[in-house]
Amino acid sequence: MLAEQGPDAHAALVAELTAEWNAEAEPWEAAAHLSLDDVIEPAETRRVVATAIAIAAHGRFGG
Amino acid sequence: MTAAEPGAAMTERIAQLRARKERSLEMGGPAGLRKHRESGRLPVRERIDMLVDPGSWFEIGALALPERRTDKHVPGDAVVTGFGLLDGRRVGVIGIDASVLAGTTAPISMRKQGGLIEHAQRHGFPLVLLCDADGGRMPDVSGWRFSGLPLDFTTFLKPPPGAPVVPRVAAVLGPSYGDSALHASTAHFVVMLRGASIALSGPSVVEPAIGEKVTDDELGGPAAATEAGNAHLVVDTEADAMDAVAAFLSYLPPNSTSEPPWGPPLPPSRDPQDLEEIVPLGARSGYDVRDVFACIADEASILPWADGWGGSVLCALARIEGRPVGLVGNQPIVRAGALDPAALAKERAFVDLCDTFGLPLVLFHDVPGLMIGTAAERGGILHGYEALVSRIAEATVPKVGVVLRKPTAAGTSRWAGGPRSPTSCSPGPRPNSASWPRRPASAPSTGASWRRCSPSRARTRMPRWSPS
């Protein structure tokens, strides 16, 4: 079907799907659905890691 | 060391992130926040700032969005979750954001709350629940969506059997129905604002469903909520509510495997010798058992627990020579202290709280007996009594019984868990007054001064506790 419509239609579909999939792969989407707790700036990484460890190191009562 | 210069693409990504982070803090936006404030309530982020120690807030899920999205921006899916320090001790916080979509619950917000609860329970620290919401969000949770809600009842309401229990405290800061009310009903301590309300369903659902026309206040305002045992303390301001949350947690360990934190030993607010006059010898005279508490507990250490529920017995958290304890006393000026179904249910819940978190129980006996007759029987006095006696018997914390005046068989031997379980004294031996300095006669007559356990004071009272 797509082949009959020519290379432009193919390219348009590729562009549409790529845009859609890229949008789905954005970190904002993962965070919006809670696959991520947060999205952080690179420079914050050390501080955030240290705080997250401090919170989780309070006790160990389950996996 | 010089910072590396980021490429243009990274600069652009960081700018996008900052813009999204900024939007995630908007809550209901200018219009939603104005309406919220006009109803006398504070925005959820101001509440959290008031609750946790400055600079300690660590948020998760700020970038969450509703599963079912519309043009309306719903930051964080109408709930704020994170961790902070309260008087230097770790807590998890769930703050419902009622300034957007009335703080209603939807799948993402539910998963966010469940995740926060699981984290606090897995690592053993208390949960603070700031309740202010109007139930489930329609149509986000209607029809088939309801059965697919990401709610795990094996962890959401309490830890699984055998896992350590963490203290849960709820502050009811607005009309709280549905999930917000359920949150509060899981809590060991519920403080509510005088203008707030709490019920399973609000008036807007009650009237069309069963034809009962009722106001928020009539249905679940402070009088109704305390009488039903849904709220334990009523306060006037949100700042008072946060102080009460901090005060309650100051008596408890972070979880049921740890010891409660001690404070410095302090003299009682009333001279223990006053007990000679407070408790009359005549069996028919009344007195306020809170005066007895004031002679026993360290000054400014008494936090009343649910005085408005089953008022013929009073319960309070307190410290004796610095050690956190639970005080239970028959209240002779309420129905002569006779125990009705509400009083039994309340005492059972309080004994459970103290036994769970390792607080010794001090039981002051002056009880004519249980209420009998039709009303008491229909209210379930029989199984209520059995449940209380069983729970006291099961409690493994130290139990000290003090017979103040007139115990009955039910009042002493069973009420306090059997004659040999508690150390019963009649009447209680006076503490050595040399080590309990006399207070001036102008000292307050009751020790109910929980406000003085506010965060700044509590911080100085927990020298043995160090945050991890």
Furthest-apart CA atoms within chain B: distance in Å: 87
Work out the average pLDDT over B133-158: 82
pLDDT category at B147 given cuts 50, 70, 90 is confident
pLDDT score, position B3: 65
Instruction: Give me the domain span that covers residue B89.
Output: 36-249
**Residues of chain B positioned with their CB less than 8 A from the CB of A63:** 122
State residue B417's pLDDT score.
46
Residue B269 has pLDDT above 90, yes or no: yes
CATH number for the domain that contains residue B46: 3.90.226.10
> Has residue B123 got a pLDDT over 80?
yes
Judged against a pLDDT cut of 50, whether residue B425 lies above it is answered with no
Do residue B49 and residue B82 come from a single domain?
Answer: yes
Whole-number pLDDT of residue B429: 35
* pLDDT tier, B2 (very low <50, low <70, confident <90, very high otherwise): low
The verdict on a CB contact (< 8 Å) between A58 and B123 is yes
Cβ contact A55–B63 (<8 Å): no
Q: With cut-offs at 50, 70 and 90, classify the pLDDT of residue B285.
A: confident
Residue B287 CB-density burial (10 A; 0-12 exposed, 13-18 middle, 19+ buried): middle
Give A39's contacts in chain B (Cβ within 8 Å): 17, 20, 63
- Residue A32, number of CB atoms within 10 A of its CB: 21
Backbone angles phi, psi at B355, to 5 degrees: -70, -35
Task: Count Cα atoms within 13 angstroms, Cβ side, for B366.
Answer: 31
Residue B148, pLDDT score: 76
What pLDDT is stored for residue B308 in this prediction? 95
Residues sharing a CB contact under 8 Å with residue A26, sequence separation 6 or more, in sequence order: none
Q: What is the pLDDT of residue B447?
A: 36
Residue B463: the pLDDT is 32
Q: What would the mean pLDDT of B73-92 be, rounded to a whole number?
A: 97
Mean residue pLDDT across chain B: 86
- The answer, for A24 touching chain B at a CB cutoff of 8 Å, is no
Q: Tokens at residue B125, please?
A: 């620290």
- B233, B103 in Cβ contact below 8 A? no
Contact check, Cβ <8 Å, B63/A51: no
- Contact state of B115 with A34 under an 8 Å Cβ cutoff: yes
Residue B42 lies in a domain: yes
Are B327 and B434 found together in one domain? yes
Residues from chain A that touch B63, judged by Cβ atoms under 8 A, are: 28, 31-32, 36, 38-39
Partners of B166 on chain A (C-beta within 8 Å) are: none
The DSSP H or E segment spanning B329 is strand B323-330
Is A46 an 8 Å CB contact of chain B?
no
- List residues of B whose CB lies inside 8 A of any A CB: 6, 10, 14, 17-18, 20, 58-65, 67, 83, 90, 108, 111-112, 115, 119, 121-125, 159, 163-164, 254-255, 257, 468
Q: ∠B217-B219-B225 over CA atoms, to 5°? A: 80
With CB atoms and an 8 Å threshold, state whether A39 touches B163: no
Question: Does residue B78 lie in a domain region?
Answer: yes
Query: Residues B355, B426: one domain?
Result: yes
Are B44 and B141 members of one domain? yes
**What would the mean pLDDT of B223-236 be, rounded to a whole number?**
97
Residue B418, sorted as left (phi over 0), alpha (psi -120 to 50) or beta, turns out to be left
User: Is the model's pLDDT at B452 over the cut of 60?
Assistant: no
Question: pLDDT tens, B17-61?
Answer: 999 999 999 999 999 999 999 999 999 999 999 999 999 999 999
pLDDT at B457: 39
Residue B145 confidence (pLDDT): 78
pLDDT at B209 over 60: yes
Q: For residue B76, is it within any domain?
A: yes
The pLDDT assigned to B212 comes to 96
B chain contacts of residue A37, beta-carbon cutoff 8 Å: 60-61
**Whether A59 and B123 lie within 8 Å, measured CB to CB:** yes
Residue B352 and residue B229 share a domain: no
Both B190 and B53 in a single domain?
yes
Could you give the dihedral angle defined by the CA atoms of residues B393, B394, B398 and B404, in that order, rounded to the nearest 10 degrees? -30
- The predicted pLDDT at position B281 comes to 85
Q: What distance, in Å, lies between the first and last C-alpha atoms of chain A?
A: 51
Domain count, chain B: 2
Q: What is the predicted pLDDT for the residue at A44? A: 93
Contact B10 A32 (CB under 8 A): no
Query: Secondary structure of A6-60 in the HEC alphabet?
Result: CHHHHHHHHHHHHHHHHHHHCHHHHHHCCCCCCCCCHHHHHHHHHHHHHHHCCCC
Q: Give A-chain residues touching B112 at CB under 8 angstroms.
A: 34
Q: What is the pLDDT of residues B213-224, one digit of tens each?
A: 999 999 999 999
pLDDT at B6: 77
Could you tell me if residue B265 is inside a domain?
no
Contact assignment for A32 to B65 by CB distance below 8 Å: yes
Same domain, B173 and B315: no
Residue A62's alpha-carbon distances to B104, B128, B362, B369, in angstroms, are 30, 21, 34, 45
Chain B contact present for A19, CB below 8 A: no
Distances (CA, A) of B394 to B350, B356, B389: 13, 11, 9
Residue B408: pLDDT band (50, 70, 90) is low
Q: For the ranges A8-17, B27-36, B325-334, B407-416, which has the lowest average pLDDT?
A: B407-416
Span B296-303, average pLDDT: 96
Q: Which of B352, B88, B51, B39 lies closest to B195, judged by CA?
A: B39
Find the mean pLDDT for residues B126-145: 88
The answer on pLDDT for B251 being more than 70 is yes
Whether residue B328 is predicted with pLDDT greater than 80 in this model: the reply is yes
Q: How much is the average pLDDT of B65-70?
A: 93
The DSSP symbol for B295 reads H
Please tell me the least confidently modeled range out of B254-263, B278-287, B411-420.
B411-420
- Residue B369: pLDDT band (50, 70, 90) is confident
Q: Using the Cα atoms of residue B279, residue B280, residue B281 and residue B283 in order, give the sign of their dihedral.
A: negative
Q: Categorize the per-residue pLDDT at B421 as very low, low, confident or very high, splitting at 50, 70 and 90.
A: very low
Q: Residue B11: inside a domain, yes or no? A: no
pLDDT at res. B146: 78
Query: Is the ipTM value over 0.90, yes or no?
Result: no
Is pLDDT above 70 for B426? Answer: no
Same domain, B111 and B227: yes
Counting one residue from A and one from B, how many pairs have CB atoms under 8 Å apart? 78
For chain B, percent of residues with pLDDT exceeding 70? 86
Determine the residue among A22, A47, A58 to mutate to test chain B binding: the one whose Cβ has the most chain B Cβ atoms within 10 Å.
A58
Distances (CA, A) of B20 to B13, B68, B403: 11, 19, 64
pLDDT given at position B405: 83
In chain A, what residues touch B163 (CB-CB under 8 Å)?
61-62
- What tens digit of pLDDT does each residue of A32-49 get? 999 999 999 989 999 999
Which secondary-structure segment (H or E) carries B384?
helix B381-394
Region for residue B52 given its phi and psi (left: phi exceeds 0; alpha: psi -120 to 50; beta: otherwise)? beta
Max mean pLDDT among A17-26, B129-138, B218-227 falls in B218-227
Q: In the prediction, which pLDDT does B462 show?
A: 34
Q: Determine the pLDDT at residue B136.
A: 85
Chain B: residue nearest A32 by CA? B64
Q: Give pLDDT, residue B432.
A: 27
Residue B217: name the closest of B239, B192, B238, B241 by CA: B192
Q: Which of B108, B130, B138 is closest to B205 using CA atoms?
A: B138
Residue B259 lies in a domain: no
Average pLDDT over residues B1-25: 88
Rounded distance between C-alpha atoms, residue B382 and residue B417, angstroms: 17
Any domain includes B16: no
pLDDT in tens, B84-122: 999 999 999 999 999 999 999 999 999 999 999 999 999
Instruction: Judge whether B238 and B50 are in contact, CB under 8 Å.
Output: yes
Residue B350 is assigned to a structural domain of this protein = yes
B90 closest CA partner among B67, B135, B58, B136: B58
- Whether B418 and B332 share a structural domain: yes
**Other beta carbons less than 10 A from residue A11's beta carbon:** 10
In a shared domain, residues B86 and B225: yes
pLDDT given for residue B430 in this prediction: 32
**What confidence score (pLDDT) does residue B144 get?**
78
Q: Identify the closest residue of chain B to A52 by CA–CA distance.
A: B58
Task: Please tell me the distance from the alpha carbon of residue B257 to that of residue B422, in angstroms, as a whole number.
Answer: 23
Contacts 24+ apart (CB under 8 A), B369-372: B369/B338, B369/B339, B369/B408, B369/B410, B369/B411, B370/B338, B370/B339, B370/B340, B370/B344, B370/B410, B371/B335, B371/B338, B371/B339, B371/B340, B371/B341
Q: CB distance B123–A37 less than 8 Å?
A: no
Contacts of B429 (CB under 8 A, 6+ apart): none
